[in-house]
Amino acid sequence: MTKKNIKIENINCEHCTNTIEEELNDLKGVISVKANKDSKMVTIEWQEPPATWQQITDLLEEIGFPANA
């Protein structure tokens, strides 16, 4: 299992955090996602394989929340 904390600057509200959590949790291999709107930090845990860091960052980019890891 891999765990990473990243900062996503454009998190502004609970809707942002919910979107990030829901979208990433739908990715096969992602174990947990916790986003915080105040700190703009997201903690992601995943199992490699099937999930990869590239898949996670690609999905974040796709949904409008690019990672500043």
Which CATH number covers residue 27?
3.30.70.100
Say if 22 falls within a structural domain.
Answer: yes
Domain range for 28 is 2-62
Say if 10 falls within a structural domain.
Answer: yes
Q: Is the pLDDT of residue 67 over 90?
A: no
- Is residue 42 within 8 A of residue 30, CB to CB? The reply is no
Mean pLDDT, to the nearest integer, of 53-58? Answer: 96
Give the chain's domain count: 1
Confidence band for 11, pLDDT divided at 50, 70 and 90:
very high
Mean pLDDT score across all residues of the chain? 96
Say if 45 falls within a structural domain.
Answer: yes
What's the pTM? 0.92
Say if 68 falls within a structural domain.
Answer: no
Query: Tell me, what's the pLDDT at 68?
Result: 73
Mean pLDDT, to the nearest integer, of 22-32? Answer: 98
Rounded to 5, what percent of the chain is helix, strand, coil?
30, 30, 40
Give bridge partners of residue 36 from the DSSP assignment.
41
CA–CA distances in Å: residue 53 to residues 14, 15, 21 = 24, 23, 15
Say if 67 falls within a structural domain.
Answer: no
